[in-house]
Structure 1
Amino acid sequence: MTVAHTDGLTAPYALARYRDGDEVRLGLVAGDRIRPLGADDLGAPDLNAFLAAADWARLERLAADAADAAGGWMSLADVVLTAPVEPRQVLQAGANYREHVIQLVAAGLTQDGSRTPDEARAFAADMMDKRAAHGDPYFFIGLPACVVGDDVDLALPAYSAVHDWELELAIVIGAPAFRVSREDALGHVAGYTIVNDITTRDLVFRKDMKEIGTDWYRSKNAPGFLPTGPFLVPAPFVDVDSATVELKLNGETKQNGSTSDLLFGIAALISGASETMPLLPGDLLLTGSPAGNGQHWKRFLQNGDVMTGSITGLGTQTVACVAEQGAS
């Protein structure tokens, strides 16, 4: 499959990781070209160490020479990109798009006939506005082992037929963040990337003991359930206040939301997540997903499906779905 990763990538440069034989190398992307980055280029031993200080000026100088045949520059079309990050922790924000949550709450409130659709929507909207003003973000954790690039097909586990998509803007942590204020939180962002948070719907809630509630481990952490990338775009180049989050399934738009609809913005999410555990350089913090997932459309992922996800300024991610083979 030919993947036009740079569609929508507007930054003058970004980071990516690409396959070089059996190894994965870090690269600097400028336009339609990429060059390898070593410790001397980064001024740090590895990607996460670089992100701790995020000295983008070093890379800006290198990117200026992208047109030069020297310096190890290659055509981006000639390499296979994989996940651009190596997080030690993955945190995920739930129920964080206002319109999406209002739809879900209102649908539940109209089932018993006690409220009209307009009354249910007004009640849900008031609830969300109070939550945004006085509440806290809702977090759960994912497994870093689920982070893959879109060079890896999404194998749909055979134990369910209701695997779903949730395209999300993901924060990439820079300087360590522990109990930081909202006012200081953005200083801990290195950049942003795209993550599709795959969810097995019939495993979200426990059936054997409903009092336990949600089971995020089983519903969200199968192999490859966090397709990530293709680029890590420096924070200064991303307008996170009004970015469009769009997912197409086999060319048909299913999600088309805006980060302007976030109940809790980037600063609030970082501050809230860092209250419990230090966030480390390279960690991912997912911001939630807008309306339009498979549960809404009553259409779930199938063998042969292709998901194309894009977020303003971050490029394009294309994930092919295949039936799971040989699981035991």
Structure 2
Amino acid sequence: MENMFLLGRVRTEADQAIMTIVTQGKHYDLATLAAVFDLQGVQTDLALALMDWQESLAQYQEVTERILASPEIAARCEVTKIAKRLAPVPRPGKILCAAANYSAHVQEMAQTGFTGPKSSPKNAPVRPQEPYHFLKATSCMTGPEDDIVLPSAEHKIDWEVELAAVIGAPAKRVSQARAMGHVAGYVTVNDVSCRAATWREDRPNIRSDWLAGKSYDTFFPVGPLFLPAVFVPDYREITLRLWVNDVLHQDGLARDMIFSLEEQIEYLSQMLTLEPGDLIATGTPAGVGQGKGNYLAPGDVMQAECSHMGRQRTAVRL
């Protein structure tokens, strides 16, 4: 798409954390660009940019136009030596995750003994009446190149690549028809999960423990790039993929969600206000480790991506 850009955060070799604008595969220092092109008010803090996303979006579009119109000048602002890629979005107020939201994933989890919806005679999951979401602690969020730290080698730690929507305008009791107007953009996330802790045998009357199952430190790598929603004609066409040690395990389309993003926003916004910067992780396709009894071990390397948003690379260690 013409004038398409993405946003990132990187640590330079000079140990500076900076916000970048990415176009035609090149990272540019956003603050330096604004100074060079004498553009006033350009936000270099995405947390603040999301508070007035439409204004910030217009600013970033103007910056991109200047880059493309004056490539020789823009070249002076290119970031060519990146020490590390960081999470492109700030730590959100809320991380809301959709559980069991891809049909094939529901089937694979039900086959392993995890509670799932009843099946029809054709073995197709019955669509529940409403989405199911859980909160994931914001403290477990990390960058796209940070290590995943296992609590132990016996905890059955699993992977879940997901497309996450970033809220760009407050949403309270929003209809499906208006839901997408509250989405600023998208990022890739990996909802790393502790299967051994999710179901509590010592609490049969409660059973599930989503806090212990989902919120260990480092269990939510985000990034590497933020893709503005304006450049996504249909999020349902986004592909989600995840590899472990270069073996492809997950390969799905967002259109396979049981509950669409619009339905999730409508559902969530009936009970709480979605605020700028909040993340909604929309579910994971089939291919998680639980389905094969295959879990992460020290020394493993995961790679995860959603279309156009770059690829995470996270090493696993104790």
Question: Smaller-chain TM-score range?
Answer: 0.7 to 0.9
Aligned pair partner of 2:22 in 16, 29, 32: 29
Do 2:162 and 2:282's aligned partners in 1 also have CA atoms closer than 8 Å? yes
1:232-269 Cα deviation digits (max 9, x unpaired): 10002233112211111111110111111101111111
Query: How far 1:224 moved relative to its partner?
Result: 0.8
Do 2:88 and 2:226's aligned partners in 1 also have CA atoms closer than 8 Å? yes
Q: CA 1:243–1:234 in structure 2 vs 1: closer, same or farther (change >3 Å)?
A: same
The corresponding residue for 2:214 is 220
The corresponding residue for 1:98 is 103
Q: Superposed, which structure 2 residues align to 1:287-306 within 5 Å? A: 287-306=282-301
Instruction: Measure the CA separation in 1 of the matches of 2:101 and 2:256.
Output: 8
Instruction: Measure the CA separation in 2 of the matches of 1:122 and 1:60.
Output: 52
Q: CA 1:215–1:68 in structure 2 vs 1: closer, same or farther (change >3 Å)?
A: farther
Do 1:164 and 1:293's aligned partners in 2 also have CA atoms closer than 8 Å? yes
Do 1:92 and 1:140's aligned partners in 2 also have CA atoms closer than 8 Å? yes
Q: CA 1:107–1:221 in structure 2 vs 1: closer, same or farther (change >3 Å)?
A: closer
The corresponding residue for 2:87 is 83
Give the unaligned 5+ runs of structure 1. Answer: 1-8, 110-118, 324-328
Instruction: Measure the CA separation in 1 of the matches of 2:51 and 2:261.
Output: 18
Taking only aligned residues, the RMSD between alpha carbons, in angstroms, comes to 2.6
Amino acid at match of 2:131: P
Instruction: Measure the CA separation in 2 of the matches of 1:41 and 1:321.
Output: 43
Query: How far 1:107 moved relative to its partner?
Result: 6.4
Do 1:88 and 1:282's aligned partners in 2 also have CA atoms closer than 8 Å? yes
Query: How far 1:72 moved relative to its partner?
Result: 5.4
The corresponding residue for 2:317 is 322
Amino acid at match of 1:263: I
Q: CA 1:76–1:138 in structure 2 vs 1: closer, same or farther (change >3 Å)?
A: farther
Instruction: Measure the CA separation in 2 of the matches of 1:10 and 1:320.
Output: 35
Bigger mean CA deviation after superposition, 44-53 or 92-101: 44-53
Question: Normalising by structure 2, what TM-score?
Answer: 0.86
Question: Normalising by structure 1, what TM-score?
Answer: 0.84
Is it true that 1:61 corresponds to 2:62 in the alignment? yes
Overall identity of the aligned pairs, in %: 34
Aligned pair partner of 2:145 in 135, 141, 151: 151
1:53-108 Cα deviation digits (max 9, x unpaired): 32323212212316334475223553421111111111000010022213444666
The corresponding residue for 2:162 is 168
Do 1:244 and 1:259's aligned partners in 2 also have CA atoms closer than 8 Å? yes
The corresponding residue for 1:4 is none
Amino acid at match of 1:90: I
Instruction: Measure the CA separation in 2 of the matches of 1:253 and 1:10.
Output: 32
Aligned pair partner of 1:15 in 7, 18, 22: 7
1:146-177 Cα deviation digits (max 9, x unpaired): 11112211111126341000000000000111
Give the unaligned 5+ runs of structure 2. Answer: none
Do 2:19 and 2:44's aligned partners in 1 also have CA atoms closer than 8 Å? no
Query: How far 1:191 moved relative to its partner?
Result: 0.2
Q: How many residues align?
A: 301
Instruction: Measure the CA separation in 2 of the matches of 1:309 and 1:11.
Output: 26
Is it true that 1:192 corresponds to 2:186 in the alignment? yes
Query: How far 1:271 moved relative to its partner?
Result: 1.2
Do 1:237 and 1:313's aligned partners in 2 also have CA atoms closer than 8 Å? no
Amino acid at match of 1:16: G
Amino acid at match of 2:5: Y
Do 2:109 and 2:291's aligned partners in 1 also have CA atoms closer than 8 Å? no
The corresponding residue for 1:6 is none
Query: How far 1:124 moved relative to its partner?
Result: 4.5
Query: How far 1:125 moved relative to its partner?
Result: 1.8
Q: CA 1:120–1:143 in structure 2 vs 1: closer, same or farther (change >3 Å)?
A: closer
The corresponding residue for 2:77 is 73
Do 2:157 and 2:193's aligned partners in 1 also have CA atoms closer than 8 Å? yes
SS of corresponding position for 1:62 = helix
Q: Superposed, which structure 2 residues align to 1:223-238 within 5 Å? A: 223-238=217-232
1:199-220 Cα deviation digits (max 9, x unpaired): 0101001121121121111111
